C-alpha cells in the first residue's frame, strides 16, 4: 500500500519539506491537504502524491503556481488554489 505525502514548496527556498498524510484514498488525502494548506503559513505550492503518482497540486492563493515540474505526465492531476 502506497502512502500519501506532500512536498511543500516555500518561496525562494531551494530545500523542500515533506509531510506524510494519514489517508487511505484520494478524497481523504485531498481533505488532509486542504487542512495542511490552512495551517502551513507561507507555502508556495503543495504537491500531493500517492507513492510516485502525483494526485493534486495546490497553490497558495496569494502567490499562484510555481513553475511546473518538468518531465511529468500531468493529464490526471488535479490543480487547485487553496481556500
Query: Which residues lie below 8 Å from residue 59, measured CB to CB, with a gap of 6+?
Result: 44, 45, 65, 66, 79, 80, 81, 82
Q: What is the pLDDT of residue 47?
A: 92
Q: 79 or 68: whose pLDDT is higher?
A: 79
Pairing of strands 45-50, 53-59: antiparallel
77 CB neighbour count, 10 Å cutoff: 14
What global pTM score does this model have? Answer: 0.73
Express as a percent the part of the chain with pLDDT over 70.
Answer: 83
Q: Is the pLDDT of residue 67 over 70?
A: no
Provide the pLDDT for residue 62.
Answer: 79
Amino acid at each position: 500500500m502506497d502512502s500519501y505525502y506532500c512536498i511543500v514548496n516555500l518561496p525562494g527556498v531551494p530545500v523542500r519539506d515533506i509531510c506524510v498524510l494519514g489517508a487511505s484514498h484520494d478524497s481523504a488525502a485531498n481533505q488532509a491537504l486542504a487542512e495542511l494548506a490552512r495551517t502551513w503559513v507561507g507555502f508556495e505550492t503543495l504537491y500531493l502524491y500517492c507513492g510516485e503518482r502525483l494526485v493534486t497540486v495546490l497553490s497558495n492563493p496569494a502567490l499562484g503556481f510555481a513553475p511546473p515540474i518538468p518531465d511529468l505526465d500531468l493529464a490526471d492531476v488535479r490543480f487547485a488554489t487553496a481556500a
